[in-house]
Structure 1
Amino acid sequence: MTREFFRAIGRWKEIAGESAGKTFLIYGGDEEYEREGHSILSWRNAGGIAGACRRQSRMLGDDPQERELLDFIEAATDTESWK
């Protein structure tokens, strides 16, 4: 994987700040490792990510920065074109 591959995830972490929590990238290979602060997971073991997501979600439940970010995403979402 090239450095460019991690640019969007890195940008997300900059915007979200502490509320971004741990970032994961699932790919089609077999190895698992850390790179540039992200956990790279094999698709074969991606099922374990659900537990990590639940834990992060619980930790952020009352975080004001998380609420602000979710409000922004909701306001920017174009659901009208889905119909």
Structure 2
Amino acid sequence: MTPQQAMEMVQDALLQVAPEADLQAVPPDADFRDLLELDSLDFLAYVEILSEAGGRRIEEDDYPKVTTMAGATAFIIADRG
């Protein structure tokens, strides 16, 4: 999987829980939970969608790794490595 494909997977998951989000305005290393005004249920839905798309359960200990675009992309790529 390329970094671009992983980033698209992250963006698709975010857009499913926050369809009006302007993802281009989110810096790669910014915690998008506050920027996109995701509550805890939205974030859990995002994690579930990303888990299903990536084919691997994301454990609660890994949540901090998937709260930024760059972090989530790196997490997906590392999992595929």
TM-score of the two chains, using structure 2 as the length reference: 0.31
Tell me which protein shows more helix as a share of its residues.
2
TM-score of the two chains, using structure 1 as the length reference: 0.30
Larger Rg: 1
Q: Which has the higher contact order (CA 8 A, sep 6+)?
A: 2
Tell me which protein shows more strand as a share of its residues.
1
